[in-house]
Amino acid sequence: MFFDRFLGFGESIGIDLGTASVLVYIKGKGIVLREPSVVTVDKDTNTILAVGSEARKMIGKTPGNIAVIRPLREGVISDYETTERMLKYFIQKAMGSHPLAKPTIAVCVPSIITEVEKRAVEDAARQAGARKVFIIEEPIAAAIGAGIDISRPCGSMVVDIGGGTTDIAVISLGGNVVSTSLKLAGDNFDEAIIKYMRKKHSLLIGEKSAELLKINIGTAYERTMPVSMDIRGRNLITGLPKNITVTSEEMLEALSECVESIADAVHSILEKTPPELAADISDRGIVMTGGGSLLYGLDKLISKRTGINTIIAEDAMSCVAIGTGRYIEFENGGKINLKYKRENNISIEKYEKKNESELEKTKDSNNKKKNKK
């Protein structure tokens, strides 16, 4: 380690450059940075005023000369100059001041990204001090981060629901066998809530309020115990502020179209999956990652629609960053670091055990149903 530093070969850094947030993972340290993908810029001078959480606080509250930019939207880099600046800022913030340490940086980028944008990301990482840069596909990173050994000849299905995109992939032997990327994820859930509130209650609410409703009472599958939440917005008829109480049943109505589309897409990927791999998936279950997968009941909905046990990965929002950092170890001279293998096997065991116990439960209840008949 010391010699690595001395020679300028520093840490392995994994970056999840997401639509909603940027996470930085450093081997041995874990997640060292977790910030929203937001930048505020002074339009007159084109200087950056704030990046990350500081910038996010300004959403909806800026005067005319200040622009709040989300440079990655709908899973694509919509403003790549700002993305480059934001990425450089985060890398430097995460690394601190290690003038001798030149890290290897792996960046996980949205799946619908052009070659030009990929190069812009690579350049930004190099300019921020990277010795070597890898660009990684999101489902592969998500799978590694969820503790799946992607190198095995065994089918695993990963559904990563972020802010801008939902990536669904069947992975075996280190590659995507069948996959798709939908421009439908957490941000669209918020938009659906805004639309619903306007139509049903003539109430105009902001992005932040919609996200709060989604996180607190959002529902993709009927709840056993309905919940409710008060929200403030602007009454579109009187033009004045108004408080109303929203229920989880209403959220189910607001979100049903979005969540059904995701479940349909999972179903259609399963239909395209070669039978041997489909059998593996039905044994091992579907793994969900990304912040959007935390929407209440989305795992249950997918389980019901596919008949396959669906689990949310541990620390679902960090999987992509962790997997991106660990990917470097696969790439380093083609060798898999034994320490990684050990760590990974432990988490696979954990994953499989969890899966097995869930499967046992499903088998038990199926048997009970059969016996009843």
Ligand X SMILES: Nc1ncnc2c1ncn2[C@@H]1O[C@H](COP(=O)(O)OP(=O)(O)OP(=O)(O)O)[C@@H](O)[C@H]1O
> Which residues of the chain form contacts with Mg ion (CB under 5 A)?
18, 162, 320
Indicate the residue among 14 and 233 with the shorter CB distance to Mg ion: 14
Closest-approach residue to Mg ion (CB): 162
Q: Output 36 or 285, the one with its CB closest to ligand X.
A: 36
Residues lying near ligand X in the complex (CB under 6 A) are found at 16, 18-21, 75, 110, 162-165, 185-187, 211, 214-215, 218, 290-292, 294-295, 317
* Nearest-approach distance from CB 319 to ligand X, in angstroms: 8
Closest separation between CB of residue 294 and ligand X, Å? 4
Q: How far is the CB of 186 from ligand X (least distance, A)?
A: 2
Identity of the residue, 53 or 367, whose beta carbon is nearer to Mg ion in the bound complex: 53
Q: Give the residue with the Cβ less far from Mg ion, 22 or 277.
A: 22
| DSSP states along 160-204 | EE-SS-EEEEEEETTEEEEEEEES-SHHHHHHHHHHHHHHHH-EE
Is residue 45 exposed (0-12), middle (13-18) or buried (19+ Cβ within 10 Å)?
exposed
Label each residue of 225-280 as H, E or C.
Answer: CCCEEEEEEEECCCCCEEEEEEEHHHHHHHHHHHHHHHHHHHHHHHHHCCHHHHHH
**Least CB distance to ligand X at residue 85 (A):** 18
Min separation Cβ 138 and Mg ion, Å: 6
CB 26 within 8 A of CB 12: yes
Residue with Cβ nearer ligand X (125 or 317) = 317
Which of Mg ion, ligand X, none does 110 bind, CB closer than 5 to 8 A by kind? ligand X
Q: Which residues contact 16 (CB under 8 A, 6 or more apart)?
A: 22, 23, 24, 25, 108, 141, 320, 321, 324
